[in-house]
Amino acid sequence: MADGSDTTLTAEQAANAQAPNGLVAGIKSFAAGHGGAKAVIEYVGKRGARIVLVGEDGAWGDQFADDTVVARQACAKAGVTVENAWERELMDQMRPSNDLWRSMARRTMAR
């Protein structure tokens, strides 16, 4: 039996993962354009990790990273605080745009 799988994430692989400069630049740009930002990192399976950014002005956006380790490193390099969960204060700060409300109204739920 094999000792391990080459698809298993090990501590060595996690330590070698580095945040791409484009991801860090995107996070910095968002934070600079919205008076600072906070982030919540969500694991989304094989896709990786979603970094949801909430600006001080209530605007929000997202970025994708290969995994949660890379997402945390990118936020740290960009100087953005990572929240552990969706706290009420952070959710109350979010202000969806009118365009987002319109796009959500047009969507229908598929079964």
Q: What string of pLDDT tens digits covers the 111 residues of the chain? A: 444 434 444 444 445 567 788 899 999 999 999 999 999 999 998 889 999 999 888 888 889 999 999 999 999 999 999 988 767 777 666 666 666 556 656 665 544
Instruction: Confirm whether 10 is domain-assigned.
Output: no
Parallel/antiparallel/unpaired status of strands 81-83 and 37-43: parallel
For residue 101, the model assigns a pLDDT of 57
Instruction: Confirm whether 8 is domain-assigned.
Output: no
Instruction: Confirm whether 61 is domain-assigned.
Output: yes
Instruction: Confirm whether 38 is domain-assigned.
Output: yes
For residue 4, the model assigns a pLDDT of 43
Residue 28 is part of which domain span?
Answer: 16-108
For residue 99, the model assigns a pLDDT of 62
Q: How far is CA 111 from CA 44, 105, 108, in A?
A: 21, 17, 10
CB-CB contact of 56 with 89 (8 Å):
no
For residue 3, the model assigns a pLDDT of 47
Domain total in the chain? 1
Instruction: Confirm whether 104 is domain-assigned.
Output: yes
For residue 96, the model assigns a pLDDT of 64
For residue 62, the model assigns a pLDDT of 87
CB-CB contact of 60 with 52 (8 Å):
yes
For residue 108, the model assigns a pLDDT of 57
Instruction: Confirm whether 76 is domain-assigned.
Output: yes
For residue 58, the model assigns a pLDDT of 84
Instruction: Confirm whether 93 is domain-assigned.
Output: yes
Instruction: Confirm whether 24 is domain-assigned.
Output: yes
Q: Six-digit token pair at 51?
A: 């970094």
